[in-house]
Chains A and B, each alone.
Chain A
């Protein structure tokens, strides 16, 4: 499918609203400050500024693709609807009891995150469905009506319904929803068998509750956005980026806003995947580093790795377990508290620690001269000569080396080192933290990190990417142009897609092919209907993943399957697919145990057009050299003389051997002594180990 021209992507982040407009002849990008009160105003002004720059009329726009942190923020800041949760009698406290464990083993004063719905607003029905969908205790319609009357009388803005085993039989959830529709037709009602029909009550209940919690405000916001666009003469259809890395219609997004979680980062992963495809790189480590956090994602065969559940709104230093587990399709990402604003300190063992506390953008690092006094990663980079104090953010933010050194003096004093050595310790520790996270993520996925090529974007990444590659043993990295608005560009490259999920338990020694096929057909119909809304008649692909384990294990692994309908004779093939996936992850299989399937995921997606292939250039002519600067090369443990090159001069084939610093308005790329940088035809910088250049 060829994409129409004049598509525009808009990403709302914490500080900036980014825009990318693809006219078919080229890309126009821009940034405006996010408008917290009315995000749609900033969107419109960003789009209009881009259309002016591109010389087109607003009415020429053919698609608006939008991603937002609105849902994530509403959950973190607890700004959602006043809502009720209706569940099975005996299970009122599932979301409060969580997994009954502590995410921090040694903290006697641990506090657990509060449930989104307080206990007084959680109600129960006497009903019970069994694991195979059989009715163990029938729901009495009179009870459902009485419950509906009570809910209506209380004046709730939204209701979530989550009953036990509703993924296997949705009848009782639907009865309750009907009862509510009778007495309160306008009320926002989310039911778990629609929002997240997967096995396991805690994530499913969390997901349906999160959906209901944000639904009224997201729906209202999207309505205002569409009105605003229409008012400005933009009649184009509006799509939303979903967390699984595809697009859904604005109508679907308004009904299932929980799918919008992490839509911005998903756009970043799609952005990296696009370059992976254009450059013919099979295995990419996507590395996005901003002011507060760094995000790492594995991209293989130009497809970001996805998962069917993840944890949102972590309350405790990004610690696993301190947030809320939800089950909705998502691009799997590791997020760590490492960014330019991350604050350095010395712990009781005399060790330098960096982050996850961050100075953010206000007051920001000490060197910003805005009142920050604690030493940050950006201060360390300035001290080490990696940032030019006069040219930061295109000269908009003059940096003070004196304030940076003053802030670093505390760490230096506690370490018994000079300020430069302390600054080296800080950057080395933050790079180590990111490298460790990337390594563990690769190991968890049964991958060898050294086989990956990095694609680095976000303001902080080009400063740290080379050192990170040294630590991880990576041979090459790519820094695309427009890396500051990577997510918005990623939106333009995402397919229209919908991932339908189901809990359907199937031991392979009792595989019911008819039941499975009927379920898969329903899933496909569901997914296809959503895709049709956005891309009627487009060519599509269907992907099926089964979540499988050996009987007796508690965790499933995702197993991609080549077919999407089955007969009894396909069981050996299913076993083989499982064993292949298991071996990749764990290096071996276990003889004599029966595999079983718990959850299923079926995706229907439009086929994205192939980007023009980019032929790798390893050299051509030397880049135009600027002045000589000095920076501290971490691998060599010494200061080196580096040549400064303007990014604009890194045209296709232009090369420079490290040590070098490639400057642009948004950031600087540090080329360490071990690497050569070469301009590529599509504006990317390729950094490659000197010894790999034949």
Chain B
């Protein structure tokens, strides 16, 4: 039986289910908070040339084409002649995988009737990878943990015991980290089984024709969508807080009919801290932004990604040069879509949102007993929290919602079981949405204190404190973020700080920018915001010039 177009469509559909299954397995078995809550993982199938055919939709756009590029590195690194049935490969090289050491990518070759026909790949953020731990403090990548170059985790079915022992000896959580390596390998194996069953069903022995079908259809659909972008150069700049100094992000988009070239020339140089972004991660977020605005419904694969050509000059903060520290590359990475969408706005007005809070406000808290002899255990607590998104051309922004990340927050009740903290407040932050015809999403306010007998430290890595999210088309900026004690004592937005005993930390997360002049806002919408307390009368008078009658 020769497969026809319907068969190829069915198989494409099946492959998407196969990679979703791969991802689901990983989510349910992983230990790291960011895998399970943030969906910080990816899973995909590649053809034998290393071209990505299907990828699971997960919570992290940061993996969109970072992973797509990685299998090519593996083929080159292992060497075609050394690829055997039963092999499993891995790396966590930030420049080969997804941008920092905590992400481990595992690649498994797929064989059928003795011939290599493709690869499964999966990436997960592990609990610990040694070094200083997850944070911006390292000055070189060497301090940030163990770097495993592209290696064989298993050869012809035999696991590399030496590699396992090296990993175990270098991380704080050997059981979980090594457990996750096995998880990654197992989810690839599950994908392999399902793929082989599909090939049996359709009576074919390789992926070549199917890959061509998928990549061609995806590429054409993407190119057709790009054709709607008026050709031309569109430049945008955006200043964000950065770590030790403000960072200027600069992008030039060149729409060329069937492709879009994005170039980050002009962007600030590297930081001395781990906020630097490897270029692969910049490409992922830039590409994600362009796909959202231009071709959101085309599935991710080598065909749909190819028309987006993205580069940043090596040595800039968005294309960090080895051995720069890159541990928390997500903070600036999450801001990349805002600068890209701003450039796109110049060519496609009325399509993209205003700027938002964008970078997550992750709170990493260390709780230590006040009395070291009390016998109380220390604890580490990680919380994910989001500010507001930018207003859209026809819709208000989303309040306390992650974008571009797909992170979920955790239950406060569950968090209070994890460590000795009390979250006294976690609710919307009134008056923080940028004023506009369409209002920016609101940020949120969080207050945290220690339980009796404990002192708290937290590691601040918060952006949009000095440089709020800007509005578009006359929309006002969202409220900047604020870091302080509950009594109003200001704290720094970067770096490790103590929360004095008896005091509470208060974080006010940034709001999203508004869209269109505030005077254009529907009086009913403004009245509804007033009634709900999303804005108070003073702010309404200041931002919108008048206080409408209730109702």
The answer on A and B forming one complex is yes
A593 proximity list for chain B (CB < 8 A) = 175-176
- Which residue, of B20, B197, B398, B427, has the highest number of chain A Cβ atoms within 10 A? B427
B412 proximity list for chain A (CB < 8 A) = 91, 164, 201
Contacting chain A: which of B247-255, B292-300, B325-333? B292-300
Give the CA-CA distance A244 to B13 in the complex, in Å: 33
Query: What is the minimal beta-carbon distance from A197 to any residue of chain B, in angstroms?
Result: 12
Instruction: Determine whether the beta carbon of B17 is less than 8 Å from that of A440.
Output: yes
User: Which residues of A in the span 567-600 have a Cβ within 8 Å of any Cβ on B?
Assistant: 585-588, 590-593, 598
B414 part of interface (Cβ distance < 8 Å): yes
B384 part of interface (Cβ distance < 8 Å): yes
- Which residue, of B127, B182, B385, B412, has the highest number of chain A Cβ atoms within 10 A? B412
Give the CA-CA distance A109 to B61 in the complex, in Å: 17
B36 proximity list for chain A (CB < 8 A) = 553-555
A118 part of interface (Cβ distance < 8 Å): yes
Instruction: Determine whether the beta carbon of A429 is less than 8 Å from that of B10.
Output: yes
User: Which residues of A in the span 416-461 have a Cβ within 8 Å of any Cβ on B?
Assistant: 416-417, 421, 424-425, 428-429, 432-433, 436, 439-440, 443-444
Q: Which of A96, A102, A165, A554 contacts B428 (CB 8 A)?
A: A96
Instruction: Determine whether the beta carbon of B6 is less than 8 Å from that of A424.
Output: yes
Contacting chain A: which of B151-159, B473-481, B528-536? B528-536
Interface string of A453-474 (1 = CB under 8 A from B): 0000000000000000001010
Interface string of A398-422 (1 = CB under 8 A from B): 0000000000000000011100010
A92 part of interface (Cβ distance < 8 Å): yes
Give the CA-CA distance A471 to B14 in the complex, in Å: 11
B352 proximity list for chain A (CB < 8 A) = 108
A202 part of interface (Cβ distance < 8 Å): yes
Instruction: Determine whether the beta carbon of B414 is less than 8 Å from that of A102.
Output: no
Query: What is the minimal beta-carbon distance from B163 to any residue of chain A, in angstroms?
Result: 19
Query: What is the minimal beta-carbon distance from A665 to any residue of chain B, in angstroms?
Result: 33
User: Which residues of B in the span 400-452 have a Cβ within 8 Å of any Cβ on A?
Assistant: 400-403, 406-414, 416-417, 422-428, 444, 447, 451
CB-nearest residue of chain A to B299: A349
Instruction: Determine whether the beta carbon of B413 is less than 8 Å from that of A585.
Output: no
B291 part of interface (Cβ distance < 8 Å): yes
Query: What is the minimal beta-carbon distance from B279 to any residue of chain A, in angstroms?
Result: 22
Instruction: Determine whether the beta carbon of A436 is less than 8 Å from that of B408.
Output: no
Instruction: Determine whether the beta carbon of B296 is less than 8 Å from that of A101.
Output: no
B543 part of interface (Cβ distance < 8 Å): no
User: Which residues of A in the span 325-372 have a Cβ within 8 Å of any Cβ on B?
Assistant: 347-352
A439 proximity list for chain B (CB < 8 A) = 17, 21, 194
Give the CA-CA distance A591 to B178 in the complex, in Å: 11
* A106 in contact with B297 given A90-B427, A101-B407, A444-B28 (CB within 8 Å): yes
A76 part of interface (Cβ distance < 8 Å): no
Instruction: Determine whether the beta carbon of B29 is less than 8 Å from that of A120.
Output: no
Query: What is the minimal beta-carbon distance from A415 to any residue of chain B, in angstroms?
Result: 7
Instruction: Determine whether the beta carbon of A200 is less than 8 Å from that of B411.
Output: yes
B517 part of interface (Cβ distance < 8 Å): no
Give the CA-CA distance A595 to B179 in the complex, in Å: 16
Instruction: Determine whether the beta carbon of A588 is less than 8 Å from that of B182.
Output: yes
* A106 in contact with B291 given A349-B218, A428-B6, A428-B10 (CB within 8 Å): yes
B406 proximity list for chain A (CB < 8 A) = 101-102, 105
A598 proximity list for chain B (CB < 8 A) = 414, 417
Give the CA-CA distance A428 to B3 in the complex, in Å: 14
A77 part of interface (Cβ distance < 8 Å): no
B201 proximity list for chain A (CB < 8 A) = 471
B59 part of interface (Cβ distance < 8 Å): yes
A24 part of interface (Cβ distance < 8 Å): no
Query: What is the minimal beta-carbon distance from A475 to any residue of chain B, in angstroms?
Result: 15
A119 part of interface (Cβ distance < 8 Å): yes
Give the CA-CA distance A102 to B39 in the complex, in Å: 12
A251 part of interface (Cβ distance < 8 Å): no
* A119 in contact with B28 given A102-B403, A199-B411, A351-B217 (CB within 8 Å): no
User: Which residues of B in the span 190-232 have a Cβ within 8 Å of any Cβ on A?
Assistant: 190, 194, 197, 201, 217-218, 220-221, 224-225
B59 proximity list for chain A (CB < 8 A) = 101, 105
Query: What is the minimal beta-carbon distance from B388 to any residue of chain A, in angstroms?
Result: 11
Give the CA-CA distance A131 to B410 in the complex, in Å: 15
Instruction: Determine whether the beta carbon of B31 is less than 8 Å from that of A552.
Output: yes
Q: Which of B13, B403, B423 contacts A436 (CB 8 A)?
A: B13
Instruction: Determine whether the beta carbon of B413 is less than 8 Å from that of A443.
Output: no
CB-nearest residue of chain B to A321: B408
Give the CA-CA distance A444 to B12 in the complex, in Å: 21
A100 part of interface (Cβ distance < 8 Å): yes
Sorted nearest first, the 5 A-B pairs with minimum C-beta distance are A90-B425, A106-B296, A436-B17, A119-B532, A100-B409
A-B contacts, 5 listed (Cβ < 8 Å): A101-B402, A128-B422, A352-B6, A436-B17, A439-B194
A→B interface (CB under 8 Å): 89-94, 96-97, 99-102, 105-112, 118-120, 128, 130-131, 136, 164-165, 199-202, 347-352, 415-417, 421, 424-425, 428-429, 432-433, 436, 439-440, 443-444, 471, 473, 503, 505, 550, 552-555, 585-588, 590-593, 598, 637
